[in-house]
Structures are given as structure tokens and as C-alpha cells.
Amino acid sequence: MFGSSCLVRTVYVILTWLTVLVLFLHNTELRKCQLRGDLLHPLMFSCLVLLSVLLYFTVSLMDPGFVLSDQDTKGTIVERIEELEKMIPQEQSSLKQRRCGFCFLLQPMRAKHCKMCKRCVRRFDHHCPWIDNCVGERNHKWFLLYLCVQFAALSWGLQNAWSGIDFAPTWQQWFTLNGFLLGALGLTGVFSMVALLLLCIHVYLASVNTTTWEFMSQHRISYLKHCDTEDNPFDRGLICNLWDFFCICGTVAWERIYIKNTNLTV
């Protein structure tokens, strides 16, 4: 409870609400709206920040798609193995499920063992240190939604921080007057660029139905290393890829899609 996870999340919450407090206490657009009695914009901004915090904890605390062990299932070990083997058509005897070299579980296609979480994750994308959790099959869409909301909140905060910068006759007085706002401006500026970069990357990955791990390590992944750089066996087209990414909530049998698409391209 008081390990690195708690520390990271505490730092996130403190930085977020300290920045919001600075924006409301200085002569920013938010403060001016309050003084005019226009509470709509301050309320909308506060709700957007609150939503970003709630999404952060949702993505950080939820199951990213951990592969269940035999002890975690309600059936017997034999039933668990039979359930996993149904994902592979019987006529495709050459395609075998792998067993993880770390936790020795039967590993579905596109799953990878995370050394930080010490568990296998379905459709593994990456382990994010900022949320201290893996991004996988179950929380990838929520991670992308969190990036959208976080970028919107940071951009709005950046604009408000800039609007509150006041002029002073000397540099020393200027830094004294705007010190906290400059800190908020720098913080929101850096994090907004990072959020925008990550948002663009993950929108692209979702549109072509690939993951960060697969994109970076294609030459080392057994089911992808024989494919060309532009040949993705899971790509079903832009519309279908985005529909599957955002609208499918259950576990996907990637083995069947892989077999179907590789047979079509052979």
C-alpha cells in the first residue's frame, strides 16, 4: 500500500490540485470569471480536472487483462486447458500455445509477461510507470480516453496560466509576482506535450490494431517476425480496428484472427 504505487499516485494528485489552486488564486481567466460571477467556466474546468483524476485512478487500479492462473479459475486444470485450446482451430496443428517462461501459464497470442507486475497480460501494450500499471486488453481504451481528457485539462490549464502572467518594472519583481504561475505554466506545458505525443501514438496504434510492444519488437515476436514491416495479421481496416478497440469488451481469440488473415495472405 505504501510502496511506489502509492507514492506515484500521491504525487499525481498533489501536483494536479496544487496547479488548480495556483490557477484559481492568481489573476487568471478563471479568477476573473469568479469575480464577475460567471461560475460556468470555473465549474467546467474543475469538473474536467476531476474527471481526469477519476480516469487516472480507473486506469491505474483496474485489471489490465491479467492471464488467469489455473487456481483462479472455477473449473479444473483440464477444463482450463481445453478452454484455451478451443481458441485454436483443430485443423491448425502447427499453431501451438506457448507457456510463459516466468509464470509457466499457457499464454494466449499477443500476451506478454510483465516483469514489473509479475504476471502475463493479454494484448500487452506496455507497463506505464506514471500509472504504475500495465496497459493491456481490458484497460487500453480507458488509457486512451484518459489521455484525451488529461490533454484537454492540461491545455486549458496552460491557457489559463498564460492569461494570468502580469508585467512588472523589473525582472526580480516579475519573477516574484509570477513565480507560482510560471511553475504552473511550465508543468502544464511539459505534460501537455507529453500527453499529446502519447495520444497521437496510441490513436495510431489503435487504428492499425497493433501495440507498442508489437510495434517496437516485431523482429523478436514469434508470430510477427516472419511478416513484413507493413504486414500486420491483426489489421482489419481503419473502421473495424477502431470499432473493435472501443466497442469490444470481452476477451478476443487473436489466434483465430491471425490464422484467418495469414491464410488469406499466403
- In this structure, is residue 86 part of a structural domain? no
What length is written for the chain?
266
Whole-angstrom Cα distance, residue 72 to residue 99? Answer: 17
Which range, of 71-85, 91-105, 206-220, averages the lowest pLDDT?
71-85
Q: What is the pLDDT of residues 173-216, one digit of tens each?
A: 888 888 899 999 999 999 999 999 999 999 999 999 999 999 99
Q: Mean pLDDT score of the chain, rounded to an integer? A: 86
Q: Which three cell numbers stand for residue 207?
A: 487504428
Percent of the chain whose predicted confidence (pLDDT) is above 70: 86
Residue 101 resides in a domain: no
Please say if 128 is a catalytic residue.
yes
Say if 54 falls within a structural domain: yes
Contacts of 135 (CB under 8 A, 6+ apart): 59, 64, 125, 126, 127, 128, 143, 212
Question: What pLDDT sits at residue 78?
Answer: 46
Q: Where is pLDDT greater, at 105 or 142?
A: 142
- In tens, the pLDDT along 119-138 reads 999 999 999 999 999 999 99
Q: Answer yes or no: is 88 within a domain.
A: no
Which residue's entry shows cell 487473436? 254
Domain that holds residue 147: 1-65+127-266
Please say whether the beta carbons of 114 and 211 come within 8 A.
no
End-to-end CA distance of the chain: 51
- For the cut 70, the answer to whether the pLDDT of residue 81 exceeds it is no
pLDDT at 150 exceeding the cut of 90:
yes
- Is residue 102 domain-resident? no
Coarse DSSP helix, strand, coil percentages of the chain, rounded to the nearest 5 percent: 60, 5, 35
Of the candidates 6, 33, 114, 128, the residue annotated as catalytic is: 128
**pLDDT in the model for residue 77:** 46
How many distinct structural domains can be found in the chain? 1
Q: Does residue 5 lie within any of the structural domains?
A: yes
Which pLDDT score, from 0 to 100, does residue 176 have? 86
The answer to whether position 75 is within a domain reads no
**How large is the average pLDDT for residues 93-113?**
82
Query: Would you state the pLDDT for residue 257?
Result: 85
